[in-house]
């Protein structure tokens, strides 16, 4: 982290001509289990990862908020009096949307000073590792401190979600932002999307010689898949007259088979069984350790492939290669636009696995995948 912190401070001073008054950061996140479960009031198991977005901030004497980033050529500038969903666009919608969402959540933006923000990040973009959540939560904690708002983590998660939904225009669940705020070293976060309760679960990878290898197959996913699955979940809930699929269990779901079409039943089956898999995984981590997750991850991937029709030939090839090379389990990361997955592996096997993946993809005529090694890290903080 020292390099990116130093780079962010230097970038701020280079752009704005004075030293930043403070430095904040938030991590990306990896959803271990529970994709789409949060939209059905279900359970999610995720980690904050050891890659972060860093924000340097300086307080201004006027009402302007200016935002610069290593990812953009221009500086976005707007008065705090004008910030809103229709006033900001492009990459600046993420940080400026947070400012607007804070105002919508009760902060008196007429009583706070303007700010200069400079943003740097080493969270990969478009790989299902929460780059948007890292950016929004890093900005949220920075503004929370700079404006002395004293909001708690759950409030900041809701602010970040509102910014992405209303200003950026992307639907996200609250669980997308929870790990970036609540993550801890060597822990996974178990989040209940209905009660909003969370619990830290021991996830000791490094001390047990384990690692998570994220594999980006480089394929483009269908951008309307998430919307289709949302409609199908709602159809299932309406058909069996319940508020959400959280109300069903793996034992009770078969009672409603005749009420649902074959496709809708498969969609419901994934969500209902995934909720149970999350709870089973948390229990296994507490009693046996990370190595015990293999069968659960494999079952989740099979369900995403067969019940949710969310996988693809490149992802299937990567999963098969990982398992053939001794991975404990491998699973795709979700329903976003990325074609990424992760594998739980022995650290000593990482190099051989990466070689095997390159070889398998080349043999099938695919471009070799990009890979990233990640581990559980702490959530957002001020440096």
Query: Would you name the residues annotated as active-site residues?
Result: 176
Three-state DSSP at 26 gives: strand
- Count the neighbouring beta carbons within 10 Å of the beta carbon of residue 339: 23
Task: Report CA torsion sign: 268, 130, 127, 67.
Answer: positive
The C-alpha atoms of residue 243 and residue 251 are separated, in whole angstroms, by: 18
- Separation CA 177–CA 173 (nearest Å): 8
Tokens at residue 275, please? 């909720």
The answer for 17, left when phi > 0, alpha when psi is -120 to 50, beta otherwise, is: left
Element housing 55 (H / E): strand 43-59
**Which DSSP string corresponds to 305-360?**
HHTS----HHHHHHHHHHHHTT-SEEEE--SSS--EEEEEEEGGGHHHHHHHHHHH
- 184 with 376: CB under 8 angstroms? yes
């Amino acid at each position: 982290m020292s390099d990116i912190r130093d780079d962010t401070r230097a970038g701020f001073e280079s752009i704005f001509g004075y030293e930043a008054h403070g430095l904040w950061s938030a991590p990306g996140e990896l959803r271990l289990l529970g994709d789409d479960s949060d939209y059905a009031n279900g359970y999610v198991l995720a980690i904050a990862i050891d890659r972060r977005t860093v924000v340097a901030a300086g307080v201004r004497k006027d009402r302007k908020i200016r935002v610069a980033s290593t990812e953009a050529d221009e500086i976005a500038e707007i008065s705090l009096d004008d910030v809103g969903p229709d006033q900001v666009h492009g990459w600046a919608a993420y940080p400026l949307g947070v400012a607007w969402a804070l105002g919508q959540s009760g902060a008196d933006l007429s009583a706070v000073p303007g700010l200069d923000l400079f943003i740097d990040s080493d969270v990969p973009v478009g790989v299902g590792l929460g780059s948007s959540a890292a950016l929004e939560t890093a900005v949220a904690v920075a503004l929370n401190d700079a404006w002395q708002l004293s909001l708690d983590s759950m409030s900041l998660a809701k602010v970040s979600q509102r910014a992405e939904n209303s200003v950026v225009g992307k639907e996200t669940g609250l669980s997308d932002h929870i790990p970036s705020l609540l993550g801890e070293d060597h822990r996974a976060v178990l989040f209940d999307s209905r009660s909003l309760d969370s619990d830290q679960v021991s996830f000791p990878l490094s001390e047990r010689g384990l690692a998570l290898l994220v594999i980006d197959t480089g394929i483009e996913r269908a951008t309307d898949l998430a919307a289709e699955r949302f409609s199908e979940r709602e159809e299932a809930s309406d058909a069996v007259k319940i508020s959400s699929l959280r109300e069903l269990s793996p034992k009770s779901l078969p009672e409603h088979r005749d009420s649902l079409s074959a496709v809708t039943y498969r969609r419901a089956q994934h969500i209902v069984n995934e909720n149970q898999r999350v709870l089973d995984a948390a229990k296994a981590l507490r009693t046996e350790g990370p190595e015990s997750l293999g069968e659960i991850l494999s079952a989740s991937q099979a369900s995403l492939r067969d019940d949710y029709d969310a996988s693809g030939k490149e992802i299937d090839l990567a999963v098969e290669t990982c398992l053939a090379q001794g991975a404990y389990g491998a699973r795709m990361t979700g329903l976003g636009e990325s074609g990424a997955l992760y594998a739980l592996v022995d650290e000593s096997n990482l190099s051989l696995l990466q070689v095997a993946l390159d070889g398998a993809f080349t043999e099938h005529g695919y471009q070799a995948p990009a890979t990233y090694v990640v581990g559980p890290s702490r959530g957002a903080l001020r440096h």
